[in-house]
Amino acid sequence: MFKVLVLQKFHGLSDDATEEQIFDRTSFKNFLGLRIGDDIPDAKTLWDFKQRIEESGREGSKPGTAYGATDDYGYYAAVDKVHIHDLHATILHLLGLDHLRLTYRYAGRDFRLTDIAGEVVKGVIA
């Protein structure tokens, strides 16, 4: 469902238009991992999902905040470096999900998007 919100935000679509585009566009279905005949979330489901995210009681990110610093040329991170697993953990936290419990099984082993080292970056949370 999160991928639907990404598509909606990226293309600037309303809930109704998002439902219509998912139904109509093969590229949207492929991005969402849907096959022909799979159920498509309707506009009411999208609205409910967004409401649950807003009402989850999670704090938001600080708007307009830059975290960390780069070298003089802006090429390398110099201060407060953040690993991609930390970024994923922070995004999941802001969505109201516990990144430690979000696992999937592959080849007989449990994996997490945030691996074993992902931590929520407290400096970007309001």
Domain spans, the chain = 2-54, 69-124
Span 12-24, pLDDT tens digits: 889 999 999 888 8
Please write down the long-range contacts of 92-95, taking CB distance under 8 Å and 24 or more positions apart. 93/58, 93/120, 93/125, 94/58, 94/59, 94/60, 94/61, 94/125, 95/2, 95/53, 95/58
Sign of the C-alpha dihedral computed for residues 8, 61, 57 and 91 taken in this order: positive
Span 13-63, pLDDT tens digits: 899 999 998 888 888 888 888 888 888 888 998 888 888 877 765 556 666
Nearest alpha-carbon partner for 3 in 41, 48, 60, 44 = 41
Q: Model-level pTM?
A: 0.50
Q: Could you tell me the two tokens for 83?
A: 């690993």
